[in-house]
Amino acid sequence: MTNESPRAVLVGDLPFPTSLPNFQRLFSDECACVDYMVHVRWPAGFICPICGVKEAPLRISTRPRVLRCSKCHREASVTAGTVMHGSHSPLSVWFWAAYLVTSMTPGMSAVQFQRQLGLSRYETAFQILHKLRAAMVRPHRDRIGAPFPVEMDETWIGGRTRGEGRGHHHKTLVVGVVEQRKRRKKTEVDGCLSPSKALPRRGGLYAGRLRLGVIVDRSAKSLETFALESVQPSTHITTDDWSGYDKLASRGYQLTQVAQRGDPDVTEACLPLIHLVFGNLKTWLNGIHHGVSPQHLPAYLNEYTFRFNRRFYPFNAFRSLLGIVADTEATTYDALYDRARALPPPPER
Ligand SMILES: [Zn+2]
């Protein structure tokens, strides 16, 4: 092979593209995408969820998304329980969207997406991106932290203060917690493609997982509630010396409070990662989305967090966005069996 673009990496026994040409070859048409989904959902071969028979399903050439059990002849849809279900757009378009959204172009607009894929309707592009964005919300997120220490801080986002005196008018208060991780040797593990994105900081630290949230005020109650929801008990938390954080130690955390007094050197030394996150977040919100209104901010925080936490694992991001995880337990009977052509409930994530 001469001058080939980077090859796909294998994650488990599934290929994952590392370049656009590579992506195009892997997911060239509807059948290629369907085969991929079948492989993800039934890695050991199709098992009929009704009669339990393990036998290659019958395929229908005019309905490539349908698998028909060779014994009981019931039909299953490969897209059941995913965001793609009920969509008339080709699966390859969905795959492109998920790939671009997770690994290529943060904050891609519907107009850009429509143009890139040559879609005739803007509404199609908008709907696809909208559904993928909705899939970035994980209602049952685990708490982060221990064994890793975390940095916690809050910041104001958005709004204008011009002509209204000093203070935070129309601004939204955002709280964040991020894990401090020690930089490891560059190794490729489990779909980890880009160790160089590891945001190296002084002392070999880089950011691990992130949680962001909107809070109504800087009170101890608001901050402690967020900490308890987001951070594992016994985690070592570093904060500034704002009194709202004082009681975290009595809430089961190891607490270090740093007196910053507006000194950027102290900030850089003690809370480097969370401030880096806040800076990048604001740049992203302002630059790509031209600012975000307070009611939409939580959705954008979700999107930012989703991408941030999976930046080393585009493969996982890609699959979880499409809702094609190997575990299909969350799929209900009705969702799996596509008789009524009804939209299934959103998949559990
Ligand atoms: Zn069957």
Q: Which residue has the higher pLDDT, 132 or 114?
A: 114
Does residue 192 register a pLDDT over 50?
no
Task: Provide the pLDDT for residue 345.
Answer: 34
> Could you tell me the distance, in angstroms and rounded to a whole number, from the CA of residue 92 to the centre of ligand 1?
28
CA of 76 to the centre of ligand 1 (A): 9
Q: Is the peptide bond before 147 cis (omega within 30 degrees of 0)?
A: yes
Residue 277 gets which letter from DSSP? H
Tell me the average pLDDT across 281-308: 79
Per-residue pLDDT band at 196 (split at 50, 70, 90) = very low
| Band of residue 109 on the pLDDT scale cut at 50, 70, 90 | confident
> Taking 70 as the threshold, does the pLDDT of residue 114 lie above it?
yes
Confidence of residue 9 (pLDDT cuts 50, 70, 90): low
Tell me the residue type at 50: I
Q: DSSP string of 232-301?
A: -TT-EEEEES-GGGGGGGGGT-EEEEE--TT-HHHHHHHSHHHHHHHHHHHHHHHHHHS---TTTHHHHH
Please state the rounded mean pLDDT for residues 207-236.
Answer: 94
Dist. CA 298–CA 306, nearest whole Å? 12
Q: Give the pLDDT score at 152.
A: 97
Query: What pLDDT score was predicted for residue 160?
Result: 53
Q: Is the pLDDT of residue 186 over 80?
A: no
Q: What is the pLDDT of residues 316-339, one digit of tens each?
A: 778 777 776 543 222 222 332 232
Q: Which residues contact 273 (CB under 8 A, 6 or more apart)?
A: 151, 178, 180, 199, 201, 205, 206, 207
Helix (H, G, I), strand (E, B) or coil at 67: strand
Q: Which residues pair with 177 in a beta bridge?
A: 152, 211
Report the chain's terminal Cα–Cα distance, integer Å.
Answer: 40
| pLDDT at 221 exceeding the cut of 90 | yes
Where do we find the tokens 């709907």? 127
Q: In the chain, where are the structural domains located?
A: 2-134, 150-305
Q: Tell me which CATH code domain 150-305 carries.
A: 3.30.420
Compute the distance from residue 209 Cα to the ligand 1 centre, in Å: 42
Distance 74 CA to ligand 1 centre (A): 6
Separation of CA 98 and ligand 1 centre (Å): 31
Residue 42 has pLDDT above 90, yes or no: no
pLDDT in tens, 225-242: 999 999 999 999 999 989
* pLDDT for res 235: 96
What distance in angstroms lies between residue 332's CA and the mean position of ligand 1's atoms?
Answer: 16
pLDDT of residue 38: 87
pLDDT at 96: 87
Task: State the distance from the centre of ligand 1 to the C-alpha of 56, rounded, in angstroms.
Answer: 11
Q: What is the mean pLDDT of residues 189-196?
A: 44
CA of 173 to the centre of ligand 1 (A): 53
Give 156 or 183, the one with higher predicted confidence: 156
- Average the pLDDT over 34-61 and give the result: 87
From 57-66, 228-237, 255-264, the region with the lowest mean pLDDT: 255-264
Sheet of 236-240, strands arranged across: 205-215, 172-182, 150-157, 236-240, 254-258
Q: What is the mean pLDDT of residues 102-128?
A: 81
Segment (H or E) for 309 = helix 297-309
Q: How far apart are the CA of 78 and the centre of ligand 1, in A?
A: 15
User: Region 63-89: what's the mean pLDDT?
Assistant: 89
Q: Cα of 245 to ligand 1 centre, how many Å?
A: 58
* CA 345 / ligand 1 centre spacing (Å): 23
Q: What is the mean pLDDT of residues 117-129?
A: 88
Calpha distance 7→188 (Å, rounded): 14
Return the structure tokens found at 240: 């500034």
Instruction: Give dist(CA 11, CA 316) in Å, integer.
Output: 9
* Region of poorest pLDDT, from 59-73, 88-102, 137-151, 285-299: 285-299
Amino acid residing at 282: K
